Structure 1
Amino acid sequence: MGDSLSYWHLISNASLLVKLVMLVLVGLSIATWVFIYERRKVMNTASAKFSEFEERFWSGIDLAHLYRQVNANPDEVNGGEVLFRAGFKEFSRLRAQNVTDSDAIMAACQRAMRVALSKEAERLDAHLNFLATVGSTSPYIGLFGTVWGIMNSFLGLASVAQVSLATVAPGIAEALIATAMGLFAAIPAVIAYNNFSARSDKMLGNLEVFAEEFASILHRQTHILANQNKKQGA
């Protein structure tokens, strides 16, 4: 390709609106890659920390001792720890108030863990809507720039006495660059959205299973405490 038809030459000679479209697409592409890097780091960290905490939880350690450990240095990006602290905190609070109704205790603990799980879901799904939006709209933004550029090219041909491929090709080429840039922004965004959405769903599913297992342990604890209170009251 000669210098007269280099990509930079085609972009610089595009109309103002097409240039604005290209600038928007470049901005969306840069933001997409920033969020891809950030989400990848968040997902990897969340998975590693949850696995580490789950191993500690099932190691046979006393839950009260584990709660004191994690509460002394809370990690807000560890989903398993956040759920554990929320549930056990509510359990300890009600036990300190001498609440003996096991159903009331379990309802309060599960409600606290649901709130914590909802916040964790918001953290894991952050910026995914942006990736989905870029993936679905960037091709149309690029197509708009292409249509506008081609329309201007054909309008310019009206003042040309003799039309040849040499006069048509540059205008069409510069217009098609907008579509290419739209696809360049959209494809990574779609791939990243599908990947991170699947990883988020898997992570939240693991947290839900952990919350159910932890709730079962707390349920047994409440029955043990209720039986002890009955024996003491007898």
Structure 2
Amino acid sequence: MPPLLLPSDLLAAGGIFYAFSVAAWAGKAVILALFITSIISWTVMFTKFQQVRAATRNGADFLAALRAEEHFVEIFRKEKTWKDCPLYELYVAGCKGVQASGGATDALKVQLLEGALERAVAEQVVCLESQVSILGTAVSAAPFLGLLGTVWGVMDAFAGVAIQGQATIGSMAPGIAAALITTVIGLVVALPSMVGYNILVAQIRRLTMEMENFASEFIGIARREISG
């Protein structure tokens, strides 16, 4: 009598391609959906990490240049620019707010500046957080897609038993293999997305705090300039 092969042995022997080839159309659709989700998630992670890294690096360069100037608005007057730098965008918005206040009272000038900086911070946060929700969706949806494939694979396995009239490895292995592979792929998609999502959220929170601190510093300097 030949040795009994367990489903895990069959899966290891055939691998992903075997499991995909024996899966029903629903299992193949789930695997394809998870594959597309993985590509989208990795693309978003790569793009957002590049954006956050650029914002951090350019922000440090901008602050160093700003501290080196004798007057706070000197960079604005010289029309220097920093690409992919949220702090610079705040700085420009604040300078334009002060410039547009014209002959308003001192209190109104400060109020207009605060409003301009608040709007600028909100805009930059929205820009930094864009597409991050895709990772959160992948974290939530991928395991459930894998579970759907698992349930469907088990259904196919029992359907094979019902057709053949007896529980054999040949009748059950295809459905079980498809069920196992969708579960694994679902977790493989979800775990990197979860790690990337948490890291991005922490870095965006840090950048948001830096922007809020810079806005407070800007307002404090403007108050002294206006009152002086």
Letter in 2 for 1:202: R
Count of paired positions = 219
Q: Please list the CA deviations of residues 13-49 of structure 1 after superposition, one character each: whole Å capped at 9, or x if unmatched.
A: 2111111111000000011111111011001000011
Letter in 1 for 2:53: N
- Specify whether residues 54 and 157 from structure 1 end up closer, same or farther in structure 2 by C-alpha distance, changes over 3 A only: same
2:129 paired residue among 116, 119, 125: 125
Letter in 2 for 1:215: I
2:165 paired residue among 149, 161, 164: 161
CA contact (8 A) 1:135 1:190 kept: yes
CA contact (8 A) 1:28 1:134 kept: yes
**Structure 1 vs Structure 2 CA RMSD:** 1.7
Residue equivalent to 1:80: 87
- Specify whether residues 27 and 177 from structure 1 end up closer, same or farther in structure 2 by C-alpha distance, changes over 3 A only: same
- Specify whether residues 73 and 64 from structure 1 end up closer, same or farther in structure 2 by C-alpha distance, changes over 3 A only: closer
Q: CA deviation at 1:163?
A: 1.9
Q: CA deviation at 1:123?
A: 1.1
Q: Please list the CA deviations of residues 120-158 of structure 1 after superposition, one character each: whole Å capped at 9, or x if unmatched.
A: 101111111000010011000110011011111101111
Unmatched 5+ stretches in structure 1: 225-234
Q: How does 1:82-101 map to 2 (within 5 A)?
A: 82-94=89-101, 97-99=102-104, 101=105
CA contact (8 A) 1:5 1:170 kept: no
Give the Cα separation in 2 of the matches to 1:6 and 1:199: 38
Letter in 2 for 1:82: E
Residue equivalent to 1:229: none
Give the Cα separation in 2 of the matches to 1:49 and 1:201: 17
CA contact (8 A) 2:160 2:172 kept: no
Letter in 1 for 2:225: Q
CA contact (8 A) 1:87 1:113 kept: yes
Give the Cα separation in 1 of the matches to 2:73 and 2:60: 20
1:206 paired residue among 203, 210, 221: 210
1:28 paired residue among 21, 29, 37: 37
Residue equivalent to 1:220: 224
Give the Cα separation in 2 of the matches to 1:11 and 1:194: 31
Q: How does 1:107-146 map to 2 (within 5 A)?
A: 107-146=111-150
Letter in 1 for 2:181: I
CA contact (8 A) 2:31 2:185 kept: yes
CA contact (8 A) 2:149 2:179 kept: yes
CA contact (8 A) 2:23 2:174 kept: no
Q: Please list the CA deviations of residues 80-111 of structure 1 after superposition, one character each: whole Å capped at 9, or x if unmatched.
A: 111111111111222xx322x22110110111
- Specify whether residues 164 and 32 from structure 1 end up closer, same or farther in structure 2 by C-alpha distance, changes over 3 A only: same
Identity %: 26
Give the Cα separation in 1 of the matches to 2:15 and 2:72: 67
Q: CA deviation at 1:4?
A: 7.4
Q: CA deviation at 1:166?
A: 4.6
- Specify whether residues 107 and 76 from structure 1 end up closer, same or farther in structure 2 by C-alpha distance, changes over 3 A only: farther
